[in-house]
Amino acid sequence: MDIHEYQAKEVLANFGVAVPDGALAYSPEQASYRARELGGERWVVKAQIHAGGRGKAGGVKVCESDVEIQKASEEMFGKKMITHQTGPEGKGIYRVYVEAAVPIDREIYLGFVLDRTTQRVMIVASAEGGMEIEEISEKRPESIVRAIVEPAVGLREFQCRQIAFKLGVDAGLTQQMVRTLQGCYRAFTELDATMVEINPLVITADNRVIALDAKMTFDDNALFRHPQISELRDKSQEDPRESRAADRGLSYVGLDGNIGCIVNGAGLAMATMDTIKLAGGEPANFLDIGGGATPERVAKAFRLVLSDKSVQAILVNIFAGINRCDWVAEGVVQALREVQVDVPVIVRLAGTNVEEGQKILAQSGLPIIRATTLMEAAERAVGAWQNDLSQGTRMRAVS
């Protein structure tokens, strides 16, 4: 789960990370009022969306008067901002963050991520702040500083000082860097984050270390432990299909293809998508319905997949280990009777009681295309989609 910049700054500030003074606004008039509350002579108006690259897309404006703040805010509110991270559909702007401008002396990139190779938290930093880390890696790879944190002891002060020295931070600011790094690490570990990024972390002209921007992502599976974080979720910034799936306990990621996938198990779902590609098709989604493929859960999955109007065939791929194929087959049949489906449905079952499951599908009287192997299922799904496409797109409704 992603959160907004202003939310990330509030979280990090609670862990001792210094951030500029700022306030949230939901209208141009409120943005102007927030600036007067903050005081000063220069402010920065920032569009709040779940994506980077806002500055290049016109989502960050430096203002020096009420008139400029009103104009900048009016240009943002209600608009769709398109950056290299949003895709062509963009993200809607429904709130802005007004922040007091700070005198910047230099910029630093700072990121905390989970390195799955070492199973450790990795700190990635660069003296070339203000750019995306991919751009830094390409243009100035030698500027990147990496450090692995040993979980048994946590982030130690000597590691923080080493990072500060490698970044060329003045010795007089080392303690501020230590406080910033340790605050970010504590926020990362204590709140089950998967990423903390500050870009840029700035050193000001009056010798302060301040997080000028902040981005945090959290592990969805751990949100039950942190209700204060789950309350920060903004569904307006999410893919509506993925949001709908999450509310129903399903793992879903929307893609750009035409063949919908209903699979149990994340690994099997990935293999299913790869096999569809190998067979010449394009998967429309990643969908893991989990271990308990009950009729109700399968019906929810069908409704979710069919909510994507680009889906022209559905491939159900179930491996029954904990479950049984006959239970799953009964669930598929019941789901198809409850949900109006007018696209080809291909079902491949494997595992416990597969013969009984295949018999239930065959005797259902429903136009289910059956397959015994994953490759056969993918080929039949692609063939059914191409045949359906040649006959023209059919209207369908989801009950």
Q: Is residue 398 part of a domain?
A: no
Q: Which residues of the chain have pLDDT under 50?
A: 393-399
Q: Is residue 289 part of a domain?
A: yes
Verify that 5 and 147 share a domain, yes or no.
yes
CATH for 155:
3.30.470.20
Verify that 302 and 363 share a domain, yes or no.
yes
Verify that 257 and 113 share a domain, yes or no.
no
Closest CA to 366 of 324, 314, 323, 303: 314
Q: Which structure tokens are listed for 55?
A: 């500055």
Verify that 117 and 191 share a domain, yes or no.
yes
Q: Is residue 146 part of a domain?
A: yes
H/E/C letters for each residue in the chain? CECCHHHHHHHHHCCCCCCCCEEEECCHHHHHHHHHHHCCCCEEEEECCCCCCCCCCCCEEEECCHHHHHHHHHHHCCCEECCCCCCCCCEECCCEEEEECCCEEEEEEEEEEEECCCCEEEEEEECCCCCCHHHHHHHCHHHEEEEEECCCCCCCHHHHHHHHHHCCCCHHHHHHHHHHHHHHHHHHHHCCEEEEEEEEEEEECCCCEEECCCEEEECHHHHHHCHHHHCCCCHHHCCHHHHHHHHCCCEEEECCCCEEEEECCHHHHHHHHHHHHHCCCCECEEEECCCCCCHHHHHHHHHHHHCCCCCCEEEEEEEECCCCHHHHHHHHHHHHHHCCCCCCEEEEEEECCHHHHHHHHHCCCCCEEEECCHHHHHHHHHHHHHHHHHCCCCCCCCC
Residues forming the annotated binding site? 46, 53-55, 99, 102, 107, 199, 213, 264
The active-site residue, picked from 128, 197, 242, 379, is 197
Verify that 138 and 45 share a domain, yes or no.
no
Verify that 5 and 149 share a domain, yes or no.
yes
pLDDT at 252: 85
CATH for 67:
3.30.1490.20
Query: Which residue range is the domain that position 83 belongs to?
Result: 21-101
Verify that 116 and 167 share a domain, yes or no.
yes
- Quick: pLDDT tens for 34-53: 999 999 999 999 999 998 88
The active-site residue, picked from 6, 97, 109, 252, is 109
pLDDT at 395: 36
Please calculate the CA angle 298-392-300 and round it to the nearest 5 degrees.
Answer: 10
Using the 3D structure, point to which of 51, 79, 101 is the last residue of a domain. 101
pLDDT at 391: 56
Verify that 384 and 274 share a domain, yes or no.
yes
Q: 103 preceded by cis ω (within 30°)?
A: no
Verify that 176 and 50 share a domain, yes or no.
no
Verify that 307 and 351 share a domain, yes or no.
yes
Q: Is residue 396 part of a domain?
A: no
CATH for 263:
3.40.50.261
Q: Is residue 6 part of a domain?
A: yes
How many angstroms separate the Cα of 393 from the Cα of each of 185, 272, 343, 386? 52, 24, 9, 11
pTM: 0.77
Closest CA to 339 of 378, 373, 311, 381: 311
Using the 3D structure, point to which of 237, 270, 300 is the last residue of a domain. 237
The answer to whether residue 138 is catalytic is no
Residues forming the annotated binding site for substrate? 264
Q: Is residue 394 part of a domain?
A: no
Using the 3D structure, point to which of 101, 126, 159 is the last residue of a domain. 101
* 128 CB-near residues (< 8 Å, 6+ apart): 107, 109, 136, 139, 140, 143
Q: Is residue 307 part of a domain?
A: yes
Report the domain count for the chain: 3
Q: Cα(60)–Cα(96) distance, rounded to whole angstroms?
A: 10
Verify that 279 and 378 share a domain, yes or no.
yes
Verify that 172 and 277 share a domain, yes or no.
no
pLDDT at 396: 39
The answer to whether residue 26 is catalytic is no
Q: Is residue 393 part of a domain?
A: no
